[in-house]
Structure 1
Amino acid sequence: MPRKRSITRRFGALAGAVVAGAVVAAVPATAATAPPRSDLPAPTGPHAVGVTELHLVDHARRDPWVPGVVRELMVTVRYPAKRGGAPAPFLTPAAAEVVAEADGARLGVDADLVDYGFATHSVAGADVVGARWPVVLYSPGRGESRAFGTALTEQLAAEGYMVVALDHTHEPPAVEFPGGRVARRALPPSSPEVLREMIATRVGDTRFVLDRLEVLAAGGNPDAERRRLPRGLGRALDLSRVGVFGHSGGGFTAGEAVLADRRVDAGANLDGSMAYAQSTGDFGRVAREGLDRPFLLMSAGDHSAASDPSWQEFLANHRGWVRRLHLPAGEHFSYTDHQVLLSRPGLDPAVPEAAIGTVDPGRSVAAQRAYVTAFFDLHLGHRPQRLFDGPSDRYPEVEFH
């Protein structure tokens, strides 16, 4: 066990150091430029998935990590779409090459084994279908790119959600903006003070994105370059039904965002602590105060409420609907696309096992998709979900705690 956790920490540093931000064109991709395959499982919902991006500039906030600049974000919007068109890439070619080379060097394997030059199942710039859909925001883990939540965000979009994935600028090593400008990682080394500033900034990012979505829903174009957006995008946003979820630091962010903003109706935390320093009981407000709205906690490996004092504090103070689900054969990065991407043949088994555990990758992703979708179906769609009544024979990999 000690060796396993040590390798997981090494992979966490790797992911925080080399993962680049995804950039998806705001106009349809062409067959000549689209990657030829997808390494991620296809979404199983009834809708095709469209995708676009927004460049958002918050002139009211200064960036906390780089002096003298205002806060700006890149977000990816996935949504139910008309069928047809070429798939958008997981990462831009330049970013995919850099990430693969860096991951390969750190993992001690050929870069081809961690190749990120593949397609998603999302069509860039496709028209939105349907009338109005609930909105769900996704926040990645500390140092992670929004791209590595694609399997879950595509599934939600295919099930009938407008899903907005955020890059928290200067946390990932690279966030690419329109025109090819790249914002590099500038996050200081971890400390309680840095984590406190990071979570406060992320919550500000989340609230600002909701503000800009309100502009979009009212008929405006919040994109800084006023690029053409998919037909029907603004009209499809039902901002009376809003959820937020995230992995690791993104799960902590989700809880704090629910607490800070009454526009958010429900949230989910995928294996994220709610503490700035566990050893001293320096917990976030969401742990100390709890919530009065629905919240889902999903954990993996040796992390759960039993081992996480911040989760214990949260559960003692929480006043709303809550469920705790556990993936015992998974690990921390099981709740990202690494669950699939690190399962390729040729990798040293010790590396993927430490990061994503021994659970079958396909079944792990299917279970996560089912429970996350059911959670938002229940609390945003107001449709009863028997999946939360108790353990499911369909997903034996998941324990109820």
Structure 2
Amino acid sequence: MGTGVERRVTRWGAAVGVLVMGGALVAGGAIATAGTAPEKPSATGRPAGTGESRASAAMTLPAPTGRYQVGTAALHLIDRQRRDPWGGGTPGHRYRELMVSVRYPAGATAGRYPRAAQMTPREAAAFDRMNSFSEQVPPGKVAWQATRTAAHTGAPVAARRPGQRLPVVLYSPGAGDPRGFGSTLCDELASRGYVVVTLDHTYEAPAVEFPGGRVARSVMPAEITKAQKAGRMTELLRKVSAVRVADTRFVLDELGRRGDASPLPRGLRGVPDMGAVGMFGQSAGGFTAAQTMHDDRRIRAAANLDGVMGYTQRDDDPSNPSTVGRDGVDRPLLLMGMDGDTHHTVASWGAVWEHSKGRHGAWLRDLTLRGSRHATYTDAETLIPQVARRVGLPPAEVAKMIGSVRPARAVAAQRAYVSAFFDRWLRGREDGGLLDRPSAHYPEVRFVP
């Protein structure tokens, strides 16, 4: 698959299918507001309706390899200059609200602080009903809420030289994914000395829980059904992308605030270097990273992990390009695709490649991870094999989801290349040519000319 002539559904299209399928399960995106009682946990501590028969053992994510332990803090941000574009909210909650997690290098005492969950129980319950694996893994079979990340909530920031600030990397998840589903790479970067900021796109993610237990559920199933009936899917994809970019630029604004105006905990204020900001994401999040870099000069480098960069439901369809496709970029862009996805086979990638090289002479790399699938670039690469062992999925079903590349090798390659990319362009560090030519250490990675 992935040839230039195949009429394949894009990752946009895959996300659309999941969200539509999830619509009947999440009541078309109903929202629990401040005036609505939050979901009550069952006697086992799980939110009601998540199913009591699921496997109860927690799944694990790989430990980071950097020199630092990892700390984290959650931020509730409200953009009072912007009404929520999805029409969500009630009196008191009409402005755009986001939940953001900040990962950072933590001191040696971080282990004394609790490890953060990948998702809250309410967010996990929504993800359980509405995710891209529901065909192979029916709801109620996996304790998604039990997974812990490597980040320790509230841990003190690692010691730094006086006045030293740390480069910043933003992360945007794929359509229909929560911000915690990229924890492996985000924790890795934080362990290597980055401030990593992950954001949920409210009313698009399956569920976003705010302080106090208020939950905003996805409205995408209803939006997609409406757009399909009206023949306006292109317009919906444009809106999703525009909302994501606006969310990201607002987060950049908030991170740049100083003193008491900063939303960061006191121990983190003055730590982010807003002059050294990069961004990456998977699927629609990768598109968001590239498009935000096109629109906002504060992003110095972007990495797109298998995300289409146009408003289309076919990889080979050049129609309805984005502005990053029409204009290209003039700053470094890393493309990492699943097996078969390159700038020769994905029309929107080809457009960005051509215009970035031709007009700007920008630094570009196109890497393929052999044997990978779309979900390889998320925590699914590590979690799905654990799910398979617990629910009895055959290897063929696992391969459909995460490909044939060994999970440990896939994770190692992503860590190496994404870290090297940001080290080079945000820190000016040499990578021994890792980004310039094939490496015997990572034979799974193919450089696409």
Q: TM-score, normalised by structure 1?
A: 0.87
* Aligned-pair CA distance for 1:177: 0.5
> Which residue identity does 1:146 align to in structure 2?
R
2:249 is equivalent to residue 207 of structure 1:
yes
Is 1:284 aligned to residue 322 of structure 2?
A: yes
For residues 5-59 of structure 1, the C-alpha deviation after alignment (integer angstroms, 9 at most, x for no partner) is: 89x9778744884899xxxxxxxxxxxx9x9966110000001100011110001
Q: What is aligned with 1:75?
A: 100
Deviation, structure 1 residue 111: 4.0
1:232 is displaced (CA, Å) by 2.2
Aligned amino acid, residue 118 of structure 2: F
TM-score by length of 2: 0.78
Change in Cα spacing, 1:359 to 1:108, as seen in structure 2 (3 Å) is same
**Distance between the aligned counterparts of 1:259 and 1:340, measured in 2?**
32
* Cα distance, 1:97 vs structure 2: 4.5
What is the alpha-carbon distance in structure 2 between the residues aligned to residue 295 and residue 105 of structure 1? 33
Alignment of 1:56 with 2:77, yes or no, is yes
- The count of corresponding residues between Structure 1 and Structure 2 is 379
One-letter amino acid matched to 1:264: I
**Which of 157, 179, 195 is the equivalent residue of 2:212?**
179
Question: Partner of 1:389 in structure 2?
Answer: 436
Amino acid corresponding to residue 121 of structure 2 in structure 1: P
How big is each residue's C-alpha offset from its partner over 1:231-269, in whole Å with a ceiling of 9 and x where there is no partner? 521121111100011111111111111111111111111
| Residue of structure 2 aligned with 1:146, choices 175, 179, 183 | 179
Give CA deviations for 1:250-297 in whole Å, capped at 9, x if unaligned.
111111111111111111110011110253521111111011111101
**Partner AA of 1:88 in structure 2:** A
- Alignment partner of 1:256 is 2:291: yes
2:311 counterpart SS class: strand
Matched, 1:244 2:279: yes
Which of the residues 293, 298, 301 maps onto 2:339?
Answer: 301
Displacement after TM superposition at 1:333 (Å): 0.6
CA contact (8 A) 1:301 1:328 kept: yes
* C-alpha contact 2:340 2:368 (8 A) present in aligned 1: no
C-alpha distance in 2 between matches for 1:268 and 1:106? 29
Cα distance change, pair 48–36 in 1 and its aligned pair in 2 (3 A): farther
Q: Secondary structure at the match of 2:351?
A: helix
**Matched residue type, 1:194:** L
- In terms of mean alpha carbon deviation, does 242-251 or 110-119 score higher? 110-119
Deviations 1:49-75 (A, max 9, x none): 000111100011111112562111111
**Is residue 393 of structure 2 the alignment partner of residue 347 of structure 1?**
yes
Q: Percent identity?
A: 45
Aligned-partner Cα distance in 1 for 2:366–2:14 = 27
The offset of 1:336, in angstroms, is: 0.5
* Displacement after TM superposition at 1:305 (Å): 1.5
Measure, in 2, the Cα distance between the counterparts of 1:86 and 1:351: 35
Distance 1:167 1:113 in 2: 22
- 2:299 match: secondary structure: coil
1:234 is matched with which residue?
269
Deviates more, 1:95-104 or 1:40-49: 95-104
User: Structure 1 stretch 276-285 or stretch 92-101: which is displaced more?
Assistant: 92-101
The answer for the alignment partner of 2:406 in structure 1 is 360
Indicate the residue corresponding to 1:272 in structure 2. 307
Q: CA deviation at 1:347?
A: 2.1
Distance 2:384 2:409 in 1: 15
Q: Bigger shift: 42-51 or 294-303? A: 294-303
SS of match in other structure, 1:343: helix
Q: Distance between the aligned counterparts of 1:372 and 1:239, measured in 2? A: 19
* 1:269 counterpart SS class: strand
2:360 is the counterpart of 1:331: no
Code of the residue aligned with 1:56 in structure 2: it is L
Matched residue of 2:421: which SS?
Answer: helix
User: Larger Rg: 1 or 2?
Assistant: 2
Q: Determine helix, strand or coil for the equivalent of 2:330.
A: coil
Q: How does 1:79-98 map to 2 (within 5 A)?
A: 79-83=104-108, 84=111, 85-98=113-126
Residue in 2 aligned with 1:26? Answer: none
Contact 1:114 1:341 in 2 (8 A): no
Q: Distance in 2 between matches of 1:155 and 1:393?
A: 22
Contiguous gaps of at least 5 residues in structure 1: 21-32, 224-228
SS of match in other structure, 1:175: strand
Q: Deviations over 1:375-399 (max 9, x none)?
A: 0000000011221121111111111
Return 5+ residue gaps in structure 2 as ranges.
3-7, 30-44, 46-55, 228-232
Asked if the contact 1:114/1:342 (under 8 Å) is kept, the reply is no
Q: Report if the CA contact (8 A) 1:136-1:244 is conserved.
A: yes
**For 1:276, what is the secondary structure of its paired residue?**
coil
* Counterpart selection for 2:260 from 220, 237, 243: 220
Residue 307 (structure 1) shift: 1.3
| Contact 1:288-1:314 within 8 A present in 2 as well | yes
Once residues 194 and 112 of structure 1 are traced to their aligned partners in structure 2, the CA distance between those partners, rounded to angstroms, is: 32
State the Cα RMSD in Å.
2.7
Q: CA deviation at 1:166?
A: 0.8
Partner of 2:203: 170
Shift in Å, 1:107? 2.5
Identify which range, 87-96 or 143-152, moves more after superposition: 87-96
